């Protein structure tokens, strides 16, 4: 496990996070797609809590009863998804400084049954449908 510095685009929110591993997961649920404005939320799981260095423009959005999303209120960068019951943080790889991208393993797609039909990843991944989470 390695600790990395993470920051938003404008650098007004900065924190350190220890990654659990370098296994990338993409969530295709409609909420993740809408919140990121993209095809889903790609993330790496933290091994423990995050330590904030600067949180001048940190904003928290309670997206559901069990999760909250962190973002920068100045530049709009998505910073994390915090699954409150397990105190687990999921960080998008693009905000992690000096991440060894060649060592990232795209391993899983969740809420796969909610993925729109207009794209497909070429990687072979484990696929979990919404029913796996109920």
In tens, the pLDDT along 17-40 reads 999 999 999 999 999 999 888 889
Q: What is the CATH number of the domain that holds 121?
A: 2.170.150.70
Asked, for residue 134, whether it belongs to a domain, the answer is: no
Is pLDDT at 1 greater than 90 in this prediction? no
Asked, for residue 39, whether it belongs to a domain, the answer is: yes
Asked, for residue 77, whether it belongs to a domain, the answer is: yes
Asked, for residue 31, whether it belongs to a domain, the answer is: yes
Asked, for residue 84, whether it belongs to a domain, the answer is: yes
Asked, for residue 35, whether it belongs to a domain, the answer is: yes
Is pLDDT at 54 greater than 90 in this prediction? yes
Is pLDDT at 3 greater than 90 in this prediction? yes
**Domain count across the chain:** 1
Is pLDDT at 134 greater than 80 in this prediction? no
pLDDT tier for residue 130 given thresholds of 50, 70 and 90:
confident
Question: Domain limits at 25?
Answer: 3-129
Question: Model-level pTM greater than 0.85?
Answer: yes
Task: Give mean pLDDT, residues 86-105.
Answer: 95
Asked, for residue 61, whether it belongs to a domain, the answer is: yes
Asked, for residue 12, whether it belongs to a domain, the answer is: yes
Query: For every residue of the chain, which 3-state class applies, written as one string?
Result: CCEEEEECCCCCEEEEEEECCCEEEEECCHHHHHHHCCCCEEEEEECCCCEEEEECCEEEEECCCCEEEEEECCCCCEEEEEEHHHCEEEECHHHECCCCHHHCEEEEEECHHHCCCCCCCCCCCEEECHHHHC
- In this prediction, residue 48 carries a pLDDT of 76
């Amino acid at each position: 496990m390695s600790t990395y510095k993470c920051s938003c685009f404008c650098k007004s929110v900065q924190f350190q996070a220890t990654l659990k591993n370098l296994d990338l997961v993409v969530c295709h649920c409609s909420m993740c797609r809408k919140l990121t404005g993209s095809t889903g939320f790609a993330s790496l799981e933290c091994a423990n809590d995050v330590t904030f260095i600067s949180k001048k423009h940190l904003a928290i959005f309670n997206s559901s009863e069990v999760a909250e999303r962190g973002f920068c209120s100045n530049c709009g960068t998505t910073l994390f998804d915090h699954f409150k019951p397990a105190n687990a943080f999921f960080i998008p790889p693009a905000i992690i400084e000096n991440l060894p991208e060649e060592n990232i393993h795209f391993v899983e797609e969740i809420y796969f049954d909610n993925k729109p039909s207009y794209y497909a990843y070429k990687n072979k991944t484990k696929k979990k449908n919404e029913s796996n989470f109920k």
